[in-house]
Amino acid sequence: MDEFDIVAGAITSRRSVRGFLPDPVSVELISKILATASYAPSGSNIQPWNVHVVMGPKRDELSRLLLDAHRQKLPEAREYEYYPVQWRSPYIERRRATGWGLYETLGIQKGDRQASAAQHGRNYAFFGAPVVLVFAIDKDLRQGSWLDYGMFLQNIMVSARGCGLHTCPQAAIANYPGIVKRLLGIGDDQTVICAISMGYEDSSCPANQFRPPRIDLDEFVVFHS
């Protein structure tokens, strides 16, 4: 296997796993992954990432607080807009295909709000993952630093695959930034971006059988010569 195949294998085997085993992940392994990911490029090398590694009782407390907010239907207070304010084609069709594809895999019927809410709530249980990485960025940094952050996040997920782990990036945690900030001591001068749940895949979990499709190359690439 050549170097490209090794890298490509880590990238193409990365997916959002929604069912993890409780097996612990060592601090040493997490540190190795984060140190590797920190080689992501950033404009003028400012390295805008702030990472909170949440495990053990603190992870359980964070999950409990977020689940309580979700079940009580507390107002969400996201500090930034992740999705378009107005959906349009082709993005709305791709979103629906992914959402209903997952729900069909899980046997959740359209209109079953109770089951849908329960599945959404699993975000706040971190799908059973023993490790949760929470990411924040200084509020005065601009779009370029958010681009840098995306490359850092991808490095984490690909590095995790190289170590036999799986991940699930989760924007849902940003719905309740106040809870996250209070528990983890994150200042109001920072924005909670997202989380990544990390651990070993539970291959028996039905949700992990779903594979969202990828669009063909000719749908997003134009070659110029």
> What domains does the chain contain, in order, with CATH numbers?
18-84+124-209 (3.40.109.10)
Contact 196, 171 (CB under 8 A): no
DSSP H helical ranges for 72-225: 91-106, 113-121, 143-162, 177-184
Query: What per-residue confidence (pLDDT) applies to 52?
Result: 98
Span 98-116, average pLDDT: 93
pLDDT category at 207 given cuts 50, 70, 90 is very high
- The pTM (predicted TM-score) of the whole model is 0.96
Q: How many percent of the chain have pLDDT more than 70?
A: 100
pLDDT tops 80 at residue 1: no
pLDDT digits over 134-190, tens only? 999 999 999 999 999 999 999 999 999 999 999 999 999 999 999 999 999 999 999
- At residue 103, what are phi and psi to the nearest 5 degrees? -65, -35
> Rounded to a whole number, what is the distance in angstroms from the first to the last CA of the chain?
32
Span 60-70, average pLDDT: 98
DSSP code at position 9: H
